[in-house]
Amino acid sequence: MTAPRLIGALVVAGLVALGIALAIDRGGEAPPGVSDREAPAGPVPGGPPGPEEPATVPTRSGAEPTPLPTPQEAPRVLAGLVRDDAGRPVPGARVVASRIRGVGSAAGITDDDGRFRLTDVDAVAYRATVRAPGHVARTVEPLLGGRDDVVVELVRAGILSGRITDAKTGEPVARASVSLRVVVGRDRFEPARDGRRRADRGRYRFEGLEPGRYRVAVDGGTGVASPRDVDIAPGETRTVDFVLSPGGTIHGDVRTDRGEAAADAHVRVEAMDDAGVSHRVHAGADGRFSVSGLAGGTYRVEATATGHCPVPHPPITIAPGQSIAVSLRVVAGAHVRLHVTDTGGRAIGAAVRWRVVGPHGRTQRGESSPSSRPDVPLPIELPAAADALRTARPVAPGDATVHVEADGYRAATRRVAIVPGRDVVVRVRLAPDGRQ
């Protein structure tokens, strides 16, 4: 090859090599005829990132590349309104939301419009407790994180206060104790939350009361006063004063129908104008008893003794500081036992419900379990262990009414005469009601 041709070939080869290098440096593919194995491995500078390399922001020469921010889920909120029972917003209420399951909580305070906004909550169920001065605290659940339409209504709390004085001196009773109970029904009460106070220089005060009816009672140590029932409306403040007077006393003895002392008889003195207030004592071996510390009012007094029934005594009205003697009587009674079968004399496969109404309207009730062997003839004599069909207490002498019923049978009623000291067996056969 001549020198000019050799120089021309070298120039062409150099130009081709330079073109390949430039193409690869710009991220392009190798030209035809160049093997993939000749291309540089890994990401190409200035080209797109590799599959596991984070995206970066280009910087000036020599500086580390800055990673681009990755998209994140926006934080969830739990928001809403707190208002009172009159529909007015409640500012300054503290709202605490805790996960029902697991650990985690968020808290906040309502603004002037009664609105709250809890941030950084998750899409899980929460239990929210809301408290505000002058209102009854409330817990609401479940609330799902992410809601912004929660409405919580707080009831305005009531206040009960008063003064306790001595009837003789008119001075405040320094160490009087005041108790509060919630009236939930006739003769039924429940303890009120934080329902006991020691009077401070004769004054007491209960705050944060839920609307409702309350029974207020005072124990003054040296004097007594009848408890009072008070109705508290939302946001209402009531004042109830008490004047303590010397307690009255009811004393006497308990005798049987034979005139003998009823040793260890039970005596109950119950206020008729203040249901739920009662006193119980045991009579001594000589049948004598005494109940003191009674507030002025009308009382029902009765005595019971083993194997005996009470004889009703007229109500007793007592004034503060008064002492009244009474003589109570008990009479020997008898138990009623039931023998219940179907019309064929077989056991009944259903529960038997019964009631026995004795003299003076005193009622006893009971229910037996279904027979494990229905349709099996019952013996004429009752087993001694058949207590489910036996009155728990003796029935007073006189006429009594027995009512028996069972599912699938017609109810039956019997009248029996009760003789003192002699248990009576009442045999009842129930006929199918025809609806089976």
> Are 303 and 325 a contacting pair, CB within 8 Å?
no
Alpha-carbon span 302 to 313, nearest angstrom: 7
> Are 355 and 404 a contacting pair, CB within 8 Å?
no
Mark whether 174 and 141 lie in a shared domain. Answer: no
Last residue in a domain, options 135, 154, 173:
154
Could you give the number of structural domains in the chain? 4
* Residue owning tokens 């001196």: 169
Mark whether 224 and 192 lie in a shared domain. Answer: yes
Residue 54, in any domain of the structure: no
What three-state secondary structure class fits 334?
strand
Q: What are phi and psi of 36, to 5 degrees?
A: -60, -30
Q: What are phi and psi of 205, to 5 degrees?
A: -160, 130
Alpha-carbon span 185 to 429, nearest angstrom: 38
Last residue in a domain, options 198, 216, 244:
244
Q: What is the CATH number of the domain that holds 326?
A: 2.60.40.1120
Residue 16, in any domain of the structure: no
* Residue owning tokens 């379990």: 369
Mark whether 345 and 425 lie in a shared domain. Answer: yes
Indicate the length of the chain as a whole number: 436
Residue 17 CB-density burial (10 A; 0-12 exposed, 13-18 middle, 19+ buried): exposed
Alpha-carbon span 384 to 356, nearest angstrom: 19
Residue 411, in any domain of the structure: yes
Strands 248-256 and 323-332: parallel
What three-state secondary structure class fits 38?
helix
Mark whether 172 and 208 lie in a shared domain. Answer: yes
Residue 95, in any domain of the structure: yes
pLDDT on residue 52: 45
Element (H, E) at 124: none
pLDDT on residue 19: 55
Mark whether 110 and 193 lie in a shared domain. Answer: no
* Residue owning tokens 């207590």: 387
Residue 314, in any domain of the structure: yes
Mark whether 266 and 235 lie in a shared domain. Answer: no
Residue 4, in any domain of the structure: no
Mark whether 193 and 264 lie in a shared domain. Answer: no
> Are 201 and 164 a contacting pair, CB within 8 Å?
no
Alpha-carbon span 418 to 12, nearest angstrom: 138
Alpha-carbon span 297 to 301, nearest angstrom: 13
Enumerate the β-bridge partners of residue 317: 298
- The token pair at 323 is 């002492």
Instruction: Work out whether the CA dihedral 141, 146, 147, 153 comes out positive or negative.
Output: positive
Mark whether 162 and 150 lie in a shared domain. Answer: no
Residues of the chain with pLDDT under 70: 1-75, 221-222, 274-276, 371-388, 435-436
Enumerate the β-bridge partners of residue 279: 269
Mark whether 201 and 229 lie in a shared domain. Answer: yes
> Are 359 and 337 a contacting pair, CB within 8 Å?
no
Cis before 370? omega within 30: no
Mark whether 128 and 196 lie in a shared domain. Answer: no
- The token pair at 53 is 């390399």
Mark whether 80 and 146 lie in a shared domain. Answer: yes
> Are 195 and 181 a contacting pair, CB within 8 Å?
yes
- Neighbouring C-alpha atoms within 13 Å toward the C-beta of 48: 4
Mark whether 130 and 204 lie in a shared domain. Answer: no
Residue 5, in any domain of the structure: no
What three-state secondary structure class fits 345?
coil
Last residue in a domain, options 244, 277, 298:
244
Domain interval for residue 93: 76-154
Residue 17, in any domain of the structure: no
pLDDT on residue 92: 96
